[in-house]
Amino acid sequence: MTTPIALTIAGSDPSGGAGIQADLKTFAAHGVYGASVIVALTAQNTRGVTAIHEVPGAFVEAQIDAVLDDLQVTAGKIGMLATSEIILAVARALDRSRAFPLVVDPVMVATSGDVLLQPEAEAALREFILPRALLLTPNMPEAARLLGTSIADGDDELQRQAEALLALGPQAVLVKGGHGGGGEAVDVFFDGGAPVFLRAPRIPTRNTHGTGCTLSAAIAARLATGMRLADAVRAAKSYVSAAIRAGSMLRIGHGNGPLDHAAAGRTL
């Protein structure tokens, strides 16, 4: 029996709610073996980020080479990349490897509002990472920032931004609508065909730390098992909704608390 393996390339969250830690919890909840490459250490908790220590690009490359030289990775995700140096290092390492489905979560700003991608690195992200993505998963502020426009207001504008993001090179785009208003969280999935709007009831909770990391990791986990992209997106959204609902009962930290990855996994 072949074990599905997913790789996350992202930053570390010592409080355990986002980044590498959330990704590995999500992989485990889906029965997928998780490997990880840490590109940055952060000092953060549920209230915010107080410091970031970037890993040198050469060592990021060494981590990726070591994993891919030994493990048969069947899907991966990219999260926080922080700097142009790290972005270029990741691109070089991926160029040397066997291709696998890649979900790119363009982490630019934390839930707390702290900047996680240096502004001068945004061009490098567009040029070297987005064209490698099977799926790009920005939230509404990240989509607007990548396009140099205002945050989408309504389904029509959300769709137009998804179409514009597809032109940047990914094979498909999922614009996440969690930052929108109303009683539903509305995402739009677009791969060049008819746009698909994915709706879920908005859950009243402040425990949303790591939601974007969890969603992209859940999609990667499903892809690692061989699931089709559109089906993986739908299944991952259901998983995240369950994790938010279960996490709303948690009392961890004094700010935006984490999701409950394990409880949601038991519903799979």
Neighbours of 103 (CB within 10 A): 32
Give the whole-angstrom CA distance, residue 64 versus residue 55.
13
Q: Report residue 227 as tokens.
A: 């699931």
Q: Report residue 162 as tokens.
A: 């998804």
Residue 8 appears among annotated catalytic residues: no
Choose, from 19, 177, 210, 257, the residue flagged as catalytic: 210
Choose, from 57, 178, 212, 247, the residue flagged as catalytic: 212
Choose, from 8, 74, 137, 211, the residue flagged as catalytic: 211
CA angle 63, 129, 17 (to 5 degrees): 65
Residue 253 appears among annotated catalytic residues: no
Choose, from 208, 214, 247, 265, the residue flagged as catalytic: 208
Of 124, 48, 143, which Cα lies nearest the Cα of 82?
124
Choose, from 176, 177, 178, 257, the residue flagged as catalytic: 176
Angle in degrees, 0-180, between the axes of helices 19-29 and 211-224, rounded to the nearest 10: 40
Which three-class secondary structure state does DSSP give residue 17? coil
Residue 211 appears among annotated catalytic residues: yes
Q: Catalytic residues, which ones? A: 176, 208, 210-213
